[in-house]
């Protein structure tokens, strides 16, 4: 190891002699190559800070202010981020408007532009239009459905439930592999709740059944159990529809589940609590520097020894070193960084004007981090092949340009010109390599849900999280006035 | 020299190609409201208008109208009830209801009365007249005409999609219900099928 490390030092020193003479030029080249690659202020940190301070309107203002920074290629991402912050800020109508735009844009992006694909092949995947992962696209409709439910527009919420069904059917048709993300337990479950809340018990039962099957089949990678409330919902709707065979099967499958009949709940009011816990995972660059000569291998090893990999600040140094060496091919791949929540369970208290308070415990229904992980692992093979092909093409073109320039400059100036052109073209090949790190980061790490039926009346809603172990408190919510048969939806954001 | 010329031609071609995508700008053209404009394939003003016109025309051609007129010696009084949206789209049902109301009113074959939403506003106005208007101009309560029939229905869709081709099937069901007996005196159905094809790639 020490032998390998000692040789490139001498080589670098020899090259640094040249570097001193041309430092101005190199600095200029590096500046040009890296223009636009500098770290912009991480808006997601600011959004998180606002959410921690129970200021969703401030978080929304940050996203709105950064609209131009998202750029034309990330209109869908802007719509998703903004849709979520507007939803948290209580502006459900505007949230739906931006989410609808994002959905329309995704529809348009079905048609791929060859020139955009070509540009991405010459540079990196961030040049592509962002259309979101499949699970993110489904969550757009989920969020819209919740917005409509919060506005009391139940028929419109059902339109979103139908769209969820259509989107998931398409996904299922398109995805052959059985263990892949081809259905969505939470989206199905929420659709069932919406159908049941509007009196359509038959469609509710079908949605619950699909949700149950999906939770069961994806348990190994989604790390989400079948919610206990869903078991009760299946029993209740199967009984209400007189589906005796299904009812008997579910009774056998869930012997310990407590449930009440639809008739018993008819005169009560329903409260649905949706809790967004923690932060969605982020993505970062994972650089693979592939040397194609022994010298280059030594340089890569030395460089990795001297500097921490994947740091933005080290990219300029890498660009110059690898550009000068000319025998290093860089490949950038996205890597998921989970940001798991520390809140395992949250409780919402409903305090009536008269009588005992009702404590509602939510349970995990959607593990966004697990879904993001699954989605990336399904795509990483394709991303890697594409990245390798791109890196090889970029290197071949740079090599061609260097040799062409050397040949054109003649014998005397050839080595100098070749070195400079090689520095620029190969430096560009290294500097332009960047993984597509875009993802819907205003999502939570986990979504929790609770359903409870309470006697009609007025309730003070008090949100809390973390139970007795963590005194983290979310903002106080509101007063509810509930009539018999009515449904209220409550949302809360719990950080971290 | 030849190399230079080729280089120039190549450069000019590249610039032309790069600028080709920058030639888009907003263009507005006024068109007659009757012109069919199918842009996205979704439910649009043309669908709303065509369905309302054809279904109201059909409804008024059926014998229930003549039967009522001959037995009661007056035009039937009709109102439009709820049109339920059971589709995959956020359809502005209000526009469709307005189209139905317009067609019913202009047919001159039925007396059309205001629906639930409008009635509330009119009653509030009458209450205010009773308090603030001159006595000889006040409109008395209890003189509304009760409807004989209610037109109600649903808009539903069936979607089928694969490989960028989407078939949307709209089914609009309307029924005329006798408010006294709950008997359905007319049941109309209109179907629209659209096929939307999207290219997978363009230059």
Cβ of A114 and B198 within 8 Å?
no
| Interface check B30 vs A, CB under 8 A | no
pLDDT tens per residue, range A68-108: 999 999 999 999 999 999 999 999 999 999 999 999 999 88
End-to-end CA distance of chain A: 43
The pLDDT of residue A20 is above 50: no
Report CA-CA distances (Å) from A341 to A73, A281, A335, A447: 30, 10, 19, 11
**Residue B35 belongs to what H/E stretch?**
none
**Overall average pLDDT of the B106-127 stretch:** 89
What's the angle, vertex CA A321, arms to CA A316 and CA A323, rounded to 5? 90
The per-residue pLDDT for A466 is 43
Give A448's pLDDT tier (boundaries 50, 70, 90).
Answer: very high
The per-residue pLDDT for B16 is 58
The pLDDT of residue B2 is above 50: no
Phi first, then psi: give them for residue B85, nearest 5 degrees.
-90, 105
pLDDT tens per residue, range A308-365: 555 555 666 676 666 666 677 788 899 999 998 887 778 888 999 888 889 999 999 9
The pLDDT of residue A482 is above 60: yes
| Interface check B7 vs A, CB under 8 A | no
The per-residue pLDDT for B25 is 60
Minimum mean pLDDT range among A392-406, B95-109, B170-184: A392-406
Respond yes or no on whether the N-terminal peptide bond of residue A496 is cis (omega within 30° of 0). yes
Q: Judge whether B29 lies within some domain.
A: no
Residue with token string 């993110």? A136
pTM recorded for the entire structure: 0.81
**What percent of chain A clears pLDDT 70, i.e. is strictly above it?**
83
The answer to whether A334 and A436 are in contact (CB under 8 A) is yes
What's the angle, vertex CA A41, arms to CA A37 and CA A46, rounded to 5? 150
Minimum mean pLDDT range among A146-155, A303-312, B35-44: A303-312
Tell which wins on pLDDT, A86 or B98.
Answer: A86
Chain A environment of B201 (Cβ under 8 Å): 111-114, 117
Cβ of B202 and A114 within 8 Å?
yes
Q: Which two tokens stand for residue A199?
A: 């009196």
Chain B environment of A100 (Cβ under 8 Å): 90
Distance CA A477, CA A461 (A): 6
Q: List residues bridging with B177 in a β-sheet.
A: B150, B184
Give B170's pLDDT tier (boundaries 50, 70, 90).
Answer: very high
Write b or e for each residue in B85-108: b if 16 or more Cβ atoms lie within 10 A of its Cβ, otherwise e. bbbbbbbebeebbebbbebbeebe
Checking DSSP bridges between strand A346-352 and strand A328-337, what pairing results, if any?
Answer: unpaired
Chain A residue with CA closest to B88: the answer is A159
The per-residue pLDDT for A306 is 59
How is residue A336 annotated by DSSP?
E
Q: Judge whether B6 lies within some domain.
A: no
| Interface check B24 vs A, CB under 8 A | no
Using DSSP, state whether A457 is helix, strand or coil: strand
Distance CA B42, CA A103 (A): 14
Counting Cα atoms < 13 Å in the Cβ hemisphere of B186 gives: 23
Using DSSP, state whether B162 is helix, strand or coil: strand
**Overall average pLDDT of the B92-117 stretch:** 88
Tell which wins on pLDDT, A318 or B125.
Answer: B125
Using DSSP, state whether B148 is helix, strand or coil: coil
Chain B environment of A111 (Cβ under 8 Å): 164, 198-202
**Overall average pLDDT of the A240-268 stretch:** 93
The per-residue pLDDT for B51 is 92
Chain B residue with CA closest to A171: the answer is B162
Q: Judge whether B59 lies within some domain.
A: yes
Tell which wins on pLDDT, A3 or A223.
Answer: A223
Give B182's pLDDT tier (boundaries 50, 70, 90).
Answer: very high
Select from B197, B199, B196, B115 the least CA-distant residue to B149: B115
The per-residue pLDDT for A36 is 42
Chain A residue with CA closest to B17: the answer is A115
**Residue B186 belongs to what H/E stretch?**
strand B184-197
Secondary structure (DSSP) of A135-160: HHHHHHHHHHHHHHHHTT-HHHHHHH
Say if residue A491 is exposed, middle or buried (CB neighbours under 10 Å; 0-12, 13-18, 19+).
buried
Distance CA B122, CA B120 (A): 5
The per-residue pLDDT for A325 is 67
Q: Judge whether B130 lies within some domain.
A: yes
| Interface check A73 vs B, CB under 8 A | no
**Residue A273 zone, left/alpha/beta (φ > 0; ψ -120 to 50; rest):** beta
Q: Which two tokens stand for residue A239?
A: 């009984």
Cβ of B201 and A113 within 8 Å?
yes
Q: For chain B, positions 127-186, list CB contacts with chain A under 8 A.
A: 157, 159, 161-162, 164
Distance CA A36, CA A39 (A): 8
Give the number of other Cβ atoms within 10 Å of residue A211's Cβ.
27
| Interface check B201 vs A, CB under 8 A | yes
Cβ of B201 and A115 within 8 Å?
no
Chain A environment of B87 (Cβ under 8 Å): 159, 162
Which of A97, A122, A153, A159 is the mutation pick for testing B, counting most B CBs within 10 A? A159
| Interface check A407 vs B, CB under 8 A | no
Write b or e for each residue in A453-464: b if 16 or more Cβ atoms lie within 10 A of its Cβ, otherwise e. bbeebebebbbb
The pLDDT of residue A476 is above 70: no
Chain B environment of A156 (Cβ under 8 Å): 85, 90
| Interface check B199 vs A, CB under 8 A | yes
Chain B residue with CA closest to A168: the answer is B161
**Overall average pLDDT of the A357-382 stretch:** 93
pLDDT, mean over chain B:
85
Q: Judge whether B140 lies within some domain.
A: yes
Long-range interactions of A204-213: CB distance < 8 A, separation 24+:
A204/A233, A204/A237, A205/A234, A205/A237, A205/A238, A205/A241, A205/A243, A207/A161, A207/A165, A208/A233, A208/A234, A208/A237, A209/A234, A209/A246, A210/A183, A211/A185, A211/A186, A212/A185, A213/A183
pLDDT tens per residue, range A289-302: 777 776 767 776 77
> Residue B162 is nearest to which of A104, A112, A173, comparing CB atoms?
A173
Q: Which two tokens stand for residue A148?
A: 């409509």
Work out how many CB contacts closer than 8 A connect A with B.
Answer: 43
Chain A environment of B40 (Cβ under 8 Å): 104
The per-residue pLDDT for A111 is 82
The per-residue pLDDT for A9 is 36
The per-residue pLDDT for A112 is 78
Cβ of B198 and A110 within 8 Å?
yes
The answer to whether B134 and B120 are in contact (CB under 8 A) is no
Distance CA B96, CA B46 (A): 10
**Overall average pLDDT of the A153-177 stretch:** 92
pLDDT tens per residue, range A311-326: 555 666 676 666 666 6
The answer to whether A225 and A212 are in contact (CB under 8 A) is no
The per-residue pLDDT for B186 is 95
The per-residue pLDDT for A46 is 93
The per-residue pLDDT for A429 is 74
Polymer length of chain A: 496
CA distance A173 to chain B (A): 8
Write b or e for each residue in B183-198: b if 16 or more Cβ atoms lie within 10 A of its Cβ, otherwise e. eebbebebebeeeeee
**Residue A344 belongs to what H/E stretch?**
none
The answer to whether A86 and A58 are in contact (CB under 8 A) is no
Cβ of B201 and A111 within 8 Å?
yes
The answer to whether B151 and B81 are in contact (CB under 8 A) is yes
Tell which wins on pLDDT, A177 or A282.
Answer: A282
pLDDT tens per residue, range A56-73: 999 999 999 999 999 999
Q: Judge whether B5 lies within some domain.
A: no
Distance CA A287, CA A328 (A): 12
Select from A225, A149, A242, A143 the least CA-distant residue to A193: A149
**What percent of chain A clears pLDDT 90, i.e. is strictly above it?**
53
**Overall average pLDDT of the A401-427 stretch:** 76
Select from A131, A129, A130, A108 the least CA-distant residue to A119: A129
The CATH code of the domain that includes B141 is 3.40.50.10610
Give A17's pLDDT tier (boundaries 50, 70, 90).
Answer: very low
Q: Judge whether B54 lies within some domain.
A: yes
Chain A environment of B96 (Cβ under 8 Å): none
Select from A75, A193, A80, A74 the least CA-distant residue to A140: A80
CA distance A80 to chain B (A): 19
Q: Judge whether B190 lies within some domain.
A: yes
pLDDT, mean over chain A:
83
What is the domain extent for residue B74?
A: 41-196
Number of domains composing chain B: 1
Distance CA A206, CA A211 (A): 9
CA distance B159 to chain A (A): 7
Distance CA A230, CA A212 (A): 7
Say if residue A128 is exposed, middle or buried (CB neighbours under 10 Å; 0-12, 13-18, 19+).
buried
Phi first, then psi: give them for residue A481, nearest 5 degrees.
-115, 115
Phi first, then psi: give them for residue A261, nearest 5 degrees.
-70, 160
Using DSSP, state whether A22 is helix, strand or coil: coil
> Residue B202 is nearest to which of A111, A155, A170, comparing CB atoms?
A111
Say if residue B174 is exposed, middle or buried (CB neighbours under 10 Å; 0-12, 13-18, 19+).
buried
């Amino acid at each position: 190891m020490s032998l390998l490390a000692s040789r490139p030092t001498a080589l670098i020193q020899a090259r640094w002699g040249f570097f001193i003479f041309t430092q101005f030029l190199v600095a200029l080249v590096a500046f040009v190559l890296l223009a636009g690659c500098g770290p912009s202020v991480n808006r997601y940190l600011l959004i998180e800070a606002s959410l921690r301070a129970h200021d969703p309107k401030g978080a929304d203002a940050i996203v709105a202010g950064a609209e131009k920074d998202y750029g034309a290629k990330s209109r869908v991402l802007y719509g998703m981020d903004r849709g979520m912050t507007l939803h948290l800020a209580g502006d459900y109508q505007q949230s739906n408007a931006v989410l609808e735009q994002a959905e329309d844009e995704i529809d348009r992006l079905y048609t791929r532009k060859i020139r955009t694909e070509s540009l991405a092949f010459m540079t990196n995947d961030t040049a592509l239009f962002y259309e979101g992962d499949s699970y993110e696209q489904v969550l757009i409709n989920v969020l819209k459905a919740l917005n409509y439910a919060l506005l009391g527009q139940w028929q419109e919420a059902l339109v979103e439930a139908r769209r969820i069904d259509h989107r998931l059917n398409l996904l299922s048709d398109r995805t052959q592999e059985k263990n892949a993300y081809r259905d969505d337990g939470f989206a199905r479950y929420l659709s069932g709740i919406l159908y049941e809340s509007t009196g359509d018990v038959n469609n509710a039962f079908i949605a619950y059944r699909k949700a149950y099957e999906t939770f069961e089949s994806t348990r190994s990678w989604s790390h989400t159990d079948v919610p206990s409330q869903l078991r009760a919902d299946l029993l209740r709707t199967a009984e209400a529809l007189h589906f005796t065979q299904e009812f008997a099967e579910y009774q056998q499958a869930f012997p310990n589940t407590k449930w009440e009949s639809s008739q018993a709940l008819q005169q009560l009011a329903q409260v649905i609590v949706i809790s967004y816990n923690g932060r969605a995972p982020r993505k970062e660059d994972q650089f693979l520097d592939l040397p194609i000569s022994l010298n280059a291998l030594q340089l890569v090893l030395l460089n990795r020894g001297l500097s921490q990999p994947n740091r933005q600040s080290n990219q300029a140094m890498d660009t110059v070193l690898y550009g000068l060496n000319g025998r290093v091919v860089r490949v950038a791949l996205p890597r998921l960084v989970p940001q798991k929540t520390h809140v395992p369970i949250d409780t919402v208290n409903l305090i009536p004007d008269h009588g005992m308070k009702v404590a509602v415990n939510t349970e995990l229904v959607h593990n966004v981090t697990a879904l993001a992980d699954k989605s990336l692992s399904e795509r990483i093979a394709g991303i890697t092949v594409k990245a390798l092909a791109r890196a090889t093409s970029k290197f071949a073109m740079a090599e061609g340009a260097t040799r062409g320039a050397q040949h054109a400059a003649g014998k005397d100036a050839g080595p100098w010109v070749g070195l400079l052109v090689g520095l620029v073209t190969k430096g560009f090949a290294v500097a332009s390599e960047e993984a597509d790190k875009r993802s819907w980061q205003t999502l939570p790490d986990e979504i929790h849900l609770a359903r409870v039926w309470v006697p009609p009346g007025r309730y003070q809603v008090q949100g809390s999280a973390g139970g007795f172990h963590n005194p983290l408190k979310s903002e106080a919510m509101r007063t509810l006035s509930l009539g018999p048969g009515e449904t209220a939806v409550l949302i809360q954001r719990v950080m971290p | 020299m030849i190399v230079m010329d080729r280089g120039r031609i190549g450069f000019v071609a590249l610039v032309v190609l790069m600028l080709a995508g920058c030639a888009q700008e907003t263009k507005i053209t006024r068109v007659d409201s009757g012109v069919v404009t199918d842009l996205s394939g979704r439910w649009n003003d043309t669908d709303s208008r065509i369905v309302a016109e054809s279904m109201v025309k059909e409804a008024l051609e059926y014998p229930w109208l003549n039967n009522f007129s001959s037995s009661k010696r007056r035009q039937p009084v009709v109102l439009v009830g709820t049109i339920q949206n059971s589709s995959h789209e956020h359809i502005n049902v209000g526009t469709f209801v307005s189209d139905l109301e317009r067609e019913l009113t202009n047919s001159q074959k039925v007396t059309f009365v205001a629906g639930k939403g409008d009635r509330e506003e009119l009653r509030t106005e009458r209450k205010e007249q009773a308090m603030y208007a001159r006595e000889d101009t006040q409109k008395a309560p209890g003189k509304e005409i009760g409807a004989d029939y209610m037109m109600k229905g649903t808009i539903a869709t069936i979607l089928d999609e694969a490989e960028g081709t989407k078939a949307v099937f709209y089914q609009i069901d309307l029924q005329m219900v006798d408010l006294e007996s709950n008997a359905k005196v007319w049941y109309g159905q209109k179907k629209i099928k659209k096929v939307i094809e999207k290219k997978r790639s363009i230059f």
